[in-house]
Amino acid sequence: MKLHTRIEEQAFEIDIHCSTSRNESERRFRISVKHPDGKLEETEVELLCRTGERWTLLKDQQVFDLMVRTDDEDRVIVEWHNAGCEIDIFNPRDRLLPEGSDASFDAPTVIKTQMPGRVIRVLKKSGDSVRKGEGLLIVEAMKMQNEIKSPRDGTIVQCALREGDDVAAGQVLAEIE
Amino acid sequence: MFKKVLIANRGEIAVRVIRTCRDMGLKTVAVFSEADRESLHVRLADEAYCIGPAPSLESYLNVERVIDAAIRSGADAIHPGYGFLAENAAFARACSEAQITFVGPPPDIIEMMGSKLASRKAAQHAGVPIVPGSTIPAKPDKSALQEAERLGYPLLVKASAGGGGKGMRVVGSAPDLSAALEAAQNEAQSSFGDATVYLEGFISRPRHIEIQILVGADGEAIHLGERECSIQRRYQKLVEESPSPAVDASLRARMAEAALELCRAVGYRNAGTIEFLVDEGGNFYFLEMNTRLQVEHPVTELVTGIDIVREQILIASGAKTSVRQSDVQTNGHALECRIYAEDPYQGFLPSPGTISTLFEPSGPGVRNDSGVYQGATIPVHYDPLISKLCAWGSSRTEAIARMRRALREYQIGGVRTSIPFFDQLLHHPEFVAGNLHTRFIEEHSLQESRSATCIPGFPVTPLMAAAIEYVMRPRKKPATKQQSRWRDAYRPFLRI
């Protein structure tokens, strides 16, 4: 899985593969980290043990006894020896999927982006009825076009965006009732 | 000796007192508010009584309900811990009216020491040096200005009934005096119901050093040496140690003699603490007397081997102290860090919540007086103290090394804690050198978080951990309507 991360204002790209299945007792990961300067670092890590927020990783026979948690914005906070750092981490594809994909509730569902991008096409406008899985708009971010699909059946009550509009992270794309 | 002791408190100190009662073969009675139904002190006691809703005024501070629980349980003694009703003379009187022994000094002495003005007078009469200033209330008129001129600026306006920095103002020069008097009086009135304030000289960069005393039922007074509590934030102690790196045998003897003199002069009984300020020239001045068990009593226990709670109970039952002065030997050095559920890097903002992960330190020289367990909740209604982490070593250097080790072992998830702050403090060269004073934290600006760049292999190691967390994160799955409603009921932030 390819992931984008940001730590102390620097962007890193990560490619992570689980070497063993999650059901097995050994959890090994092959991870390559691409630094902002293009340098590539490849390592293998084993997650020895996880008790709540406390994780023990083994990397090149070095033990890393860390506290790992997420904050309200899904940032990962890693602490070691009482010093910590916040890491923004996301899958560029996931960030374009609407939130609340399990929606089937009566209240309006708000669809937001988590990444900045540009609206390429608007497929539905206010008042249109949509079926679950139908495309609403296409947003381009990080050079990838993604179709935003409706998470539920309903009617679009709000979709103020036009083609060519820039959207910020967290901006509302549409509201479905 | 008593048969059953009610502990009129909560949290770590209730747990602490229950433990000594167990050691002495005494039955224990816990009281709890509705917010503390699942608290550790309740789970450890033999009996427990709910004494009301979460707000302290309706439960732990409600004299009637505490006494009622004591009568119903048949307890023959009440240990008040610290805080809440511990220095409430009316409560001590209510105990004796109900024919239950209050573990502490007589009510009249609690009353006298609860007034800063009265206690300063008592100290002065006993020949104990007091912080320069008045022993009469300050009036917002010419007399206050004259008194201020005599003391010199800067000076302090202090509430007589005060404590914890409330009802206190620093005055830099004469034009600010009347406004400071008024502000302090208003604050004193609203916080303590007593607007009396007085003027006190300002001692720059003082150390806070206190003497632990025990007075047996026979009136024989002994001291257990000193504790230094100079590491404070907004007049709240954060780190305490014994002995003080600034006290030599001669100063200790003089301070202890002054403290014992005060105890004898007022007819004190049971455990107590006389607090002094020590200036840069090594002169000491009486600050106040605490007529109860101190939060930081464990550091004294660690260097003397004396269980202070046991002494309190013995004395309350009519006995002498179990040791004489000549038997009191101190050994090594002890430190205490008060671990709070608060975020040290957001102005020590309280961080109540549920402790989801808990690994407590142990090993040579480590004592952790805790009031929590994994899964316990830190309620919003009370002081967010999680535990008092203490380390003992044969020297101050060894005690510091052990405290650092314990702070690294101590892992608490679910709430923010002051552990990272103490980790930094215990590595600060001035702390290690023992150069302490009450403005240490402000002057050394210890409120910035340590950079993560000290993590070996930074930034790859934390990045890897984050990536693993991400791939193992449970994904949102499509749910049926009913499941979705159920989840919403429990996770209000799931949906926007």
B4-103, which class in CATH? alpha beta
- Looking up tokens 């403290």, which residue turns up? B259
Residue B491 has pLDDT above 70, yes or no: no
Number of neighbours of residue B384 by Cβ within 10 angstroms: 23
Model ipTM over 0.90: no
Please report residues of B whose CB lies closer than 8 A to that of A101.
476, 478
Which residue would you say has higher pLDDT here, B181 or A95? Answer: B181
Q: Name which of B411, B472, B484 is nearest A54 (Cβ-Cβ).
A: B411
Residue-range definition of the domain harbouring residue A122: 94-176
Write the pLDDT tens digit of every residue in A137-162. 887 765 556 778 787 788 887 777 88
Same domain, A98 and A57: no
Q: What is the pLDDT of residue A115?
A: 63
**Boundary residue ending a domain (A90, A119, A147):** A90
Structure tokens at B78: 């009440």
pLDDT at residue B287, as a whole number: 95
pLDDT over 90, % of chain B: 81
B132-201 is classed CATH 3.40.50.720: no
Which B residues in the span 456-475 are in contact with A, Cβ-Cβ below 8 Å?
456-473
Which of A63, A78, A93 would you mutate first to test chain B, the one with the most B CBs within 10 A?
Answer: A78
Which domain CATH number covers A71? 3.30.700.30
Same domain, residue pair A83 and A116: no
Whether residues A71 and A42 share a domain: the answer is yes
pLDDT for B310 equals 98
The string of DSSP codes covering B277-339 is EE-TTS-EEEEEEE-S--TTHHHHHHHH---HHHHHHHHHTTPPPSS-GGG----SEEEEEEE
Helix, strand, coil in percent for chain B, rounding step 5:
35, 25, 40
Question: Hey, where are the domains in chain B?
Answer: 4-103, 132-201, 207-443, 458-496
Mean pLDDT across A66-82? 91
Question: What total of structural domains would you count in chain A?
Answer: 2
* Among the partner residues A5, A47, A72, nearest to B463 by beta-carbon distance: A5
Same domain, A17 and A73: yes
pLDDT band at residue A96 under the 50/70/90 scheme: low
pLDDT band at B395 (very low <50, low <70, confident <90, very high): very high
pTM value is: 0.83
Please say whether the structural domain B207-443 has been given the CATH code 3.30.470.20: yes
The domain boundary, picked from A66, A90, A114, lies at: A90
From A90, A111, A140, the end of a domain falls on: A90
The beta-carbon neighbor of A100 closest among B356, B451, B495 is B495
The string of pLDDT tens digits covering residues B11-21 is 999 999 999 99
Residue A101: CATH number of its domain: 2.40.50.100
pLDDT at A151: 77
Per-state percent for chain A, helix, strand, coil, to nearest 5: 0, 55, 40
Q: How many other β-carbons are positioned within 10 Å of the β-carbon of residue B369?
A: 21
Residue A98 Cα to chain centre, angstroms:
11
- Alpha helices by DSSP H, listed for B152-217, are 177-192
Q: Which residues in chain B are contacts of A22 at CB distance < 8 A?
A: 472
pLDDT score recorded for residue B167:
85
Let me know: does B228 contact B247? Beta carbons within 8 Å: yes
> Measured between alpha carbons, how far is B368 from B382 in angstroms, rounded to an integer?
20
Under 8 Å between Cβ of B31 and B8 = yes
Q: Is A22 helix (H, G, I), strand (E, B) or coil?
A: coil
Which pLDDT value is given to residue A144?
A: 59
Q: What is the pLDDT of residue A142?
A: 55
Name residue B306's amino acid: I
Same domain, A109 and A71: no
End-to-end CA distance of chain A: 34
Tens digit of pLDDT for each residue in A13-45? 999 998 765 566 678 999 999 999 999 999 999
List all residues of chain B from 322 to 381 with a beta carbon under 8 Å from chain A: 356-357, 359, 374
* pLDDT value at residue A22: 56
B-chain residues within 8 Å CB-CB of A45? 464, 468
As a whole number, mean pLDDT of residues B271-278 equals 98
B residues 193..212 contacting A (CB < 8 A): none
Q: Are residues A12 and A58 in the same domain?
A: yes
Q: Are residues A57 and A115 in the same domain?
A: no
In the predicted model, what is the mean pLDDT of chain B?
92
Task: Fill in the DSSP letter of residue B5.
Answer: E
Measured in angstroms, the CA of A147 and the nearest CA of chain B are apart by 19
Least confident of A74-88, B106-120, B237-251, B410-424: A74-88
Is residue B367 among the annotated active site residues?
A: no
List of chain A residues whose C-beta atoms are within 8 Å of the C-beta of residue B420: 79, 82-84
Question: Residue B34, Cβ neighbours under 10 Å: how many?
Answer: 15
Phi, psi of B273 (to 5 degrees): -135, 130
Given B16, B292, B367, B416, the catalytic residue: B292
Say what percent of chain A tops pLDDT 70: 82
Summarised one tens digit per residue, pLDDT across range B355-383 is 999 999 999 999 999 999 999 999 999 99
Report pLDDT for B254: 98
Contact criterion met (CB < 8 Å) for B455 and A81: yes
Task: Mark whether A86 and A7 lie in a shared domain.
Answer: yes
* Beta-strand relationship, B27-32 and B47-50: parallel
